[in-house]
Amino acid sequence: MTAFPCKPAILLALALCAGAAPAQAQSTVADGQKLAFDRGKGNCLTCHIIKGGDLPGTIGPELKDLKAKYPDRNELTAIIFDETKRNPQTMMPPFGRNRILTEQEISAIVDFLQTL
């Protein structure tokens, strides 16, 4: 009987852990949009028109139909990680190389870009 009082607590903890993972996967698109629009993070709107974003700049091309243009998500990841590899003259900051964004944050932004 001594171990019994612990059991409900363990079951509750397992239930919470099991519930957390799918919720996170579903929200990566929303997280990516938030990061892309956040002026202190991705700040992508300074240079790109993006559907749903306010006051965009036009230094870079409008971000749309990206899934058709870059079917391989690794290409989009590489562009955000360090566009200077494709174009040494680019204005676009190397978000990954400069550690402005983590790999996880870039992955969430790629999820969002693929919905545009």
Dist CA 75 CA 37 (whole Å) = 21
Dist CA 114 CA 43 (whole Å) = 18
Among 87, 98, 102, 115, binds ligand HEC (CB under 6 A): 87
Among 28, 34, 60, 94, binds ligand HEC (CB under 6 A): 60
- The 21-40 contact track toward ligand HEC, x by CB under 6 A, reads ---------------x----
Dist CA 79 CA 21 (whole Å) = 28
Q: What type of residue is 105?
A: E
Tokens of residue 92, six digits: 């676009």
Stretch that binds ligand HEC, among 3-11, 14-22, 23-31, 73-81 (CB under 6 A): 73-81
Tokens of residue 27, six digits: 């929200």
Interface residue list for ligand HEC (CB under 6 A): 36, 42-44, 46-48, 59-61, 63, 66, 69, 76, 79-80, 83, 86-87, 90-93, 95, 109, 113
